[in-house]
């Protein structure tokens, strides 16, 4: 007959990760809490917690945080990760637009299609995994949100492409001399795709490097499923099938050989306009609210919270929604 133990994590909320790890080690080494001279419920709670904590890499700073602080950190990280979901969708949509253009122009060779299928597979695996991590209503709401957010930047895409096109025309002789394909329109489309791929790869990495630097813990094990950076190399390989010469820049991101769009002030201005919108939390919150109202169950939950919080600012109500309904969480 198996013995069931009650797990009470409240007993270790104020213990540090270092203390929890030490108790877990001692209990295991001694063959049980009783032999280790440790309260059994506390020992069980520490062992249970370490099953999860062992997935992460902690620095000395991280091991000094309490279990309560760690749980709060995980919640805040989950809420902020909506930024990555938005950029994932924007990047995939941009690359998809390039492929659609290639197909329209009859440029899709067998190899081009082969790499595009690889890109689709990466994105589909990410979407499938994301869908298993949250309830259906939250998943639908998040997807509506990222689509709406992506729609906001679409009017800014044409000025961006024009700035790149005009720059490529200006440097055409030196670009071709460097071994680049002489097709301004094709290169313009590919460069736009590279821009979003670079933003995606660097933002994902920076997101967790910052948390690790500030708080002392690497949380990437929880979010590795959302790393769709393989799309970037497959997009580059797809472009190479069309004769586009691709190289990596100093940051390890793909770009066009013989091209440095940062030299163009018009490009920098056009790209900054997009970055400003993407990082505008107030605007993105408005997109989140619109996504909520597109889904009946989300809308009902949202309205209940608003009714309870009438005396507060709308931002506070949206904040509570994020915590209670899981709208901005994974």
The 10s digit of each residue's pLDDT in 50-106 is: 999 999 999 999 999 999 999 998 888 887 888 888 899 999 999 999 999 999 999
This prediction has a pTM of: 0.80
The structure tokens listed for 18 are 């270092």
Distance, CA of 245 to CA of 264 (rounded, Å): 20
Only one residue has tokens 């877990």, namely: 24
Beta strand spans in the chain (E): 57-58, 217-218, 246-248, 254-256
Q: What is the pLDDT of residues 257-315, one digit of tens each?
A: 999 999 999 999 999 998 888 776 665 666 555 555 555 554 454 444 444 444 454 45
Give residue limits of the domains in the chain: 9-54, 76-325
Distance, CA of 168 to CA of 256 (rounded, Å): 11
Q: What is the mean pLDDT of the chain?
A: 84
Task: Provide the 8-state DSSP code for 251.
Answer: T
Classified as helix, coil or strand, 248 is: strand
The structure tokens listed for 279 are 């990082």
For residue 324, the model assigns a pLDDT of: 41
The partner residues of 254 in beta bridges, in order of sequence, read: 248
Only one residue has tokens 């993407």, namely: 278
Q: Which residues contact 261 (CB under 8 A, 6 or more apart)?
A: 164, 167, 191, 195, 267
Distance, CA of 189 to CA of 164 (rounded, Å): 9
Task: Provide the 8-state DSSP code for 6.
Answer: -
**166 pLDDT more than 80:** yes
The structure tokens listed for 320 are 């509570």
Residues in the chain: 330
Classified as helix, coil or strand, 16 is: strand
Q: What is the pLDDT of residues 180-208, one digit of tens each?
A: 999 999 999 999 999 999 999 888 888 88
Task: Provide the 8-state DSSP code for 137.
Answer: H
Classified as helix, coil or strand, 66 is: strand
Q: Which residues contact 151 (CB under 8 A, 6 or more apart)?
A: none
- State the Cα angle at 327 between 321 and 328, rounded to 5°: 105
């Amino acid at each position: 007959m198996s013995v069931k133990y009650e797990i009470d994590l409240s007993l270790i909320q104020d213990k540090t990760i270092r203390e929890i790890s030490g108790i877990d080690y001692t209990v295991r080494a001694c063959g049980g809490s009783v032999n280790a001279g440790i309260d059994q419920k506390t020992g069980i709670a520490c062992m249970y917690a370490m099953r999860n904590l062992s997935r992460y890499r902690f620095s000395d700073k991280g091991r000094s945080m309490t279990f309560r602080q760690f749980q709060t950190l995980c919640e805040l990280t989950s809420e902020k990760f909506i930024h990555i979901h938005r950029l994932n969708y924007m990047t995939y949509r941009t690359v998809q637009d390039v492929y659609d253009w290639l197909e329209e122009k009859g440029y899709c060779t067998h190899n081009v299609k082969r790499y595009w299928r690889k890109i689709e597979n990466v994105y589909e695996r990410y979407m499938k995994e994301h869908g298993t991590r949250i309830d259906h209503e939250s998943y639908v709401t998040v997807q509506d949100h990222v689509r709406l957010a992506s729609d906001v930047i679409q009017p800014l895409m044409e000025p961006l492409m024009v700035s790149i096109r005009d720059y490529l025309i200006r440097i055409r002789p030196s670009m071709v001399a460097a071994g680049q394909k002489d097709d301004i329109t094709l290169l313009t489309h590919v460069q736009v795709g590279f821009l979003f791929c670079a933003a995606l790869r660097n933002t994902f990495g920076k997101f967790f490097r910052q948390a690790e630097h500030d708080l002392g813990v690497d949380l990437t094990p929880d979010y590795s499923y959302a790393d769709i950076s393989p799309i970037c190399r497959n997009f580059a390989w797809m472009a190479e099938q069309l004769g586009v010469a691709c190289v990596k820049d100093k940051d390890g991101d793909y770009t066009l050989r013989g091209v440095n769009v940062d030299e163009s002030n018009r490009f920098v201005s056009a790209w900054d306009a997009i970055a400003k919108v993407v990082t505008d939390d107030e605007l993105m919150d408005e997109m989140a609210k619109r996504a909520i109202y597109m889904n009946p169950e989300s809308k009902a939950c949202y309205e209940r919270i608003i009714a309870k919080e009438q005396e507060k600012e709308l931002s506070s109500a949206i904040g509570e929604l994020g915590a209670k309904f899981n709208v901005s969480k994974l």
